[in-house]
Amino acid sequence: MRFEKEVLAQQKRFKEGLLGYVLTADWRHVLCVPFIYPVLVPILLLDAFKHARRRMQAHAHYHGFADYGDAENYRTELARLREELRQISAKESAPHA
């Protein structure tokens, strides 16, 4: 709890309002806003449809992936995953007779 309160207090000290930011921002950044933000919603919608689709068939290396958000397992499996990748790369780059 104490850590959270300290972080919130620090964020409050450095908080800058929108008007203050716009008035002090580089003019090029401000001019980009009308071109960048209108495409945000269509991109989010396209991304949502892309992730909603089910995989018909997983690729050959799919089984070796760590689950999304499983940072602890990923760290413990990282050496094994890298070694498997090295072996795959070596097989693919080996001259074929």
pLDDT per residue, tens digit, the chain (97 aa), is: 677 888 888 888 888 888 888 889 999 988 998 998 899 999 988 888 776 666 677 777 777 777 777 778 888 888 888 898 899 888 888 876 5
Decide if 64 contacts 81 (C-beta within 8 A): yes
Cβ(54)–Cβ(62) below 8 Å: no
Domain residues of the chain, as ranges?
57-97
Rounded distance between C-alpha atoms, residue 38 and residue 29, angstroms: 15
Residue 4: per-residue pLDDT: 86
